[in-house]
């Protein structure tokens, strides 16, 4: 009641003073305002946009063709002309890395989209309808949680004979939707208990009105944060699976394959074969984690 910080957060009394500089900003607007002031957001989003541009427009970044390889150049060290050197196959490493971004990112983006959609839907259903709907969804998520992610992915992918963007996306989605569902369910449960939901109900609002007008807009923020972080996670997961031999196969070009290919030579005088693709994976994953953190700070109502 008498916490000074609480009363400080109240806006200026509208009857007396003119609106302060931040008048009429919605919570989303407020979050964006916070985000803009966070340098980490700018660093992380620059990194992420760079990777996305690599993936979408690889030809803008290199003239070399990643499939034109000459064994004569095999394992050549980085040089002034070719900053990243050549791969074991004698391909230009920079071209390989640039063209490798697209498949990794496609898998991660698709898996994130699908898990987010499923997570929001299932989580909302489970949180909004207590009783058997919640019981079924919650038990199913529990079962999936019991399945170790890596083991599950290896087993599922071994079953598929075709390994392309879609199969890998499917497996990642299958194993990844539960986390978001849980987060969404918890968020919906706490939003559902807010008085404004009761007030809408007392007005006679339908469930659909309540879910789309009140619950979703207020409950969705933590899912966005987690999805952003998960996107980085899926890039790492794809690289891991490919490295283990159950992901993409040659003659595709992905970061996971480059790591797999370069790994045997890392300790034989050619560390760049391993270090360069790894660095791209690490930087990309980091970019999305930082982005998620920045989003969380901006969306967290406790910060204002």
d(CA 85, CA 81): 9
Task: Assess contact for 64 and 77: CB atoms under 8 A.
Answer: no
Residue 188 C-beta: closest distance to another protein, Å: 14
d(CA 22, CA 38): 17
Task: Dig out the tokens for 53 from the structure.
Answer: 């541009």
C-beta of 54 vs 295, nearer to another protein: 295
Residue 19 C-beta: closest distance to another protein, Å: 7
Report the interface residues with another protein, using CB under 8 A.
1-17, 19-20, 23-28, 135, 139, 194-196, 198-206, 209, 213-214, 217-218, 301, 304
Task: Assess contact for 226 and 278: CB atoms under 8 A.
Answer: no
Burial of 134 (0-12, 13-18, 19+ CB in 10 A): middle
C-beta of 22 vs 65, nearer to another protein: 22
C-beta of 36 vs 77, nearer to another protein: 36
C-beta of 21 vs 162, nearer to another protein: 21
Residue 8 C-beta: closest distance to another protein, Å: 5
Residue 138 C-beta: closest distance to another protein, Å: 9
C-beta of 66 vs 127, nearer to another protein: 127
Distance set, CA 75 to CA 51, 63, 95, 212, 250 (Å): 25, 20, 14, 56, 18
Peptide bond into 292 cis (omega under 30): no
Residue 92 β-bridge partners:
86
Residue 233 C-beta: closest distance to another protein, Å: 28
């Amino acid at each position: 009641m008498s916490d000074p910080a609480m009363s400080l957060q109240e806006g200026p009394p509208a009857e007396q003073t003119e609106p302060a500089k931040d008048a009429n900003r919605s919570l989303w607007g407020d979050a964006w305002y916070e985000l803009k002031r966070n340098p980490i957001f700018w660093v992380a989003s620059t990194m992420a946009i760079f990777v996305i541009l690599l993936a979408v427009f690889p030809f803008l970044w290199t003239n070399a063709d990643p499939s034109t390889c000459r064994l004569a150049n095999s394992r050549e060290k980085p040089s002034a002309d070719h900053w990243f050197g050549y791969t074991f196959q004698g391909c230009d490493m920079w071209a390989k890395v640039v063209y490798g971004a697209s498949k990794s990112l496609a898998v991660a983006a698709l898996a994130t989209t699908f898990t987010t959609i499923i997570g929001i839907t299932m989580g909302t259903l489970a949180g909004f309808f207590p009783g058997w709907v919640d019981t079924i969804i919650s038990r199913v998520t529990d079962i999936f949680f019991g399945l170790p992610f890596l083991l599950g992915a290896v087993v599922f992918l071994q079953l598929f004979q075709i390994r392309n963007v879609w199969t890998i996306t499917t497996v990642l989605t299958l194993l990844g939707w539960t986390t978001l569902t849980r987060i969404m369910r918890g968020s919906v449960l706490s939003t559902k208990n807010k008085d404004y939901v009761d007030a809408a109900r007392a007005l006679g609002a339908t469930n659909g009105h309540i879910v789309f007008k009140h619950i979703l807009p207020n409950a969705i923020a933590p899912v966005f944060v987690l999805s952003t972080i998960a996107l980085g996670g899926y890039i790492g997961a794809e690289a891991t699976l490919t490295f283990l031999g159950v992901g993409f196969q040659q003659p595709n070009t992905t970061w996971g394959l480059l790591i797999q290919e370069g790994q045997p030579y890392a300790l034989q005088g050619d560390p760049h074969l391993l270090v360069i693709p790894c660095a791209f994976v690490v930087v990309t994953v980091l970019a999305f984690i930082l982005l998620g953190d920045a989003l969380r700070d901006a969306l967290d109502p406790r910060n204002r």
